[in-house]
Amino acid sequence: MMFVFLACVSPGRIGEIRFGILPAMNAKDPSKEPTAISAILKTAIDAIVTVDETGSIVSANPATETRFGYSVSDLIGKSINVLIPSSFQLGDNRKETGMGHRKDGSTFPLHLAVSEFEVDGQHLSAYIVRDISDRNERQARLEAILNNAVDAIITIDRRGAIDSANPATESLFGYSQEELVGQNVKMLMPNPYREQHDGYLKNYHDTGTKKIIGIGREVIGQRKDGSTFPMHLAVSEIQLADRVLYTGIVRDITDLKAAERKLAELNSDLESRVKQRTEELRKTQADLVRSEKFATLGKVSGGIAHEIRNPLNAVKTSAYYLLNASNASEEKIREHLERIDRQVSLIDNVVTALSDVAKLPEAQLLKTDLKAILKTVIGSTGLPSTIVVENTLADDLPLVLADTNQIVIAFKNLVRNARDAMSEGGTLKIHATESNAEVDLHVEDTGIGIAEEDLGQILEPLYTTKARGMGLGLSITRAIVEKNGGRLRVESELGDGSCFTITLRKVTATD
């Protein structure tokens, strides 16, 4: 009678091997081995090698050939040391893991289980070998992730003692691994967090109520040198086979807090600048009211709101993101701060230009790229998807003389009017024609058009065909164009769209 030792491995628990004893093959007469046992040995994924008391291989299953590269006939009679180094001893001194040697000279990590038994008075040993290369690779991958993570990752036990900490923890807090492991994690916290920590753990163990676990929150960390810093802490619970660990992921949010302070400063500055500009506009409005042409320009506040609403919405959106994003990157924070700064500058430019138009100042005529201006205007106007834009301005369109800040407002007014005229959708066409001395830029829509009786007054102050509107947009546009030495004209038919044309002087060699 002979016995076969079978390994039973629980899912996810590689290396837990239990042995069962079954009637098995006759080592000297394989033809007598029971069919079931033969099938098990032949299909087993682990190498199973039988060795006599001299260390010589008596038998081996097909998986042994696969694992080590030897044929069974090559192995019979050879020392087990050919496959497994002598550091693996029989009996109580055996090791569980080590390296196996293949025929081609390569090695691989293995898990080994050895059991001794007797058959017909012969002392034998069964070696069951499992290739654990994949497990080691996964372990190495996880270690690489932990070791290269930019956030500190700390594990503690039920008592709060630090079980492990990655290199980022050392960099963030200034302690070495040796100084951290075994110490209570509260050493990384200032009061009152330090005093409260053990109470949180005890309360959770006693009641199961989670106050920190599974919930990210902002706390204060304390470095070895006593300095403190704001951090975001996320704690999770890990259930192992024999114990419970808690993992804390710590992110330094010093930069985020600095960005929040910068945002608050920008908001304060924005509020101050808006108040200042509002006061300037109030004074400008008072001057305009005294003017016969703009006697009723007290309604200008609504028009100004129309000009600055989009930039303010952009500021509001970025402010909301910065105030609520818990894990925003430094690049994302900088992107939104720069966006706020740009929008505030845009508001400032718009308000300044409107004030200048109201006062009818002299335009600062400079070389201006109309194609670039129209691209910016179209991109910032917020056209719905139902409107198709056909911009056919040539790359070599001549430069013109214009005050950029003022002329942008003029084109914005025309593009907005075209958008409003095409509430059901349509086509916005931007094209240009030129003569020897001038460039005509046409803003054409396929909207509702303008009635013939309205065309003569459509450019006059306070005249509008809209249900809601002050009637200042086109009159301001004409004033800007004329101050820039140009002309504004309109062609339209009711139900057949409109075409507004701005004519400006080309830049010449003497400009």
Distance CA 318, CA 267 (A): 11
Give the confidence band of 402 by pLDDT, cuts at 50, 70, 90.
very high
Q: Which positions ≥6 away from 322 have C-beta within 8 Å?
A: 259, 260, 263, 328, 333, 336, 337
Token code pair at residue 480: 């800007």
- Asked if the model's pLDDT at residue 297 lies above 50, the reply is no
Distance CA 340, CA 322 (A): 11
Share of the chain above pLDDT 70, in %: 82
Q: How many CA atoms lie within 13 A of 191 on its CB side?
A: 1
Peptide bond preceding 11: is omega within 30 degrees of 0, i.e. cis? Answer: no
Please tell me if the domain spanning 3-133 has the same topology as the one spanning 149-252.
Answer: yes
- Asked if the model's pLDDT at residue 24 lies above 50, the reply is no
- Asked if the model's pLDDT at residue 124 lies above 50, the reply is yes
Bridge pairing between strands 162-165 and 57-60: unpaired
Largest CA distance in the chain: 126
- What architecture does CATH give domain 149-252? 2-Layer Sandwich (3.30)
- Asked if the model's pLDDT at residue 26 lies above 50, the reply is no
- Taking the mean position of all CA atoms in its chain, how far away is CA 176? 31
CA angle, residues 278, 281, 285, in degrees to nearest 5: 140
Distance CA 470, CA 445 (A): 21
Residue 249 phi/psi, 5-degree rounding, is -105, 120
- Asked if the model's pLDDT at residue 399 lies above 90, the reply is yes
Distance CA 450, CA 448 (A): 7
CATH superfamily of 3-133: PAS domain (3.30.450.20)
83-97, 156-170, 186-200, 402-416: least confident range: 83-97
Average pLDDT over residues 306-314: 74
- Asked if the model's pLDDT at residue 58 lies above 70, the reply is yes
Q: Decide which of 35 and 77 is more confident.
A: 77
Share of the chain above pLDDT 90, in %: 31
- Asked if the model's pLDDT at residue 337 lies above 60, the reply is yes
Average pLDDT over residues 466-484: 77
- Asked if the model's pLDDT at residue 93 lies above 80, the reply is no
- Domain ranges (residues) in the chain: 3-133, 149-252, 256-359, 366-505
pLDDT at 467: 57
Q: Which of 406, 389, 396, 402 is nearest to 351 (CA)?
A: 406
Give the confidence band of 22 by pLDDT, cuts at 50, 70, 90.
very low
Token code pair at residue 151: 């956030």
| Three-class SS of 374-431 | HHHHHHHHCCCCCEEEEECCCCCCCCEEECHHHHHHHHHHHHHHHHHHCCCCEEEEEE
Average pLDDT over residues 295-310: 55
Average pLDDT value over all residues in the chain:
81
* CATH number for domain 366-505, candidates 2.70.170.10, 3.40.50.2300, 3.30.565.10, 3.20.20.140: 3.30.565.10
Total-model pTM: 0.36
pLDDT at 136: 66
Average pLDDT over residues 56-77: 91
pLDDT at 71: 92
pLDDT at 267: 86
The 8-class DSSP code of residue 33 comes to S
- Asked if the model's pLDDT at residue 4 lies above 50, the reply is no
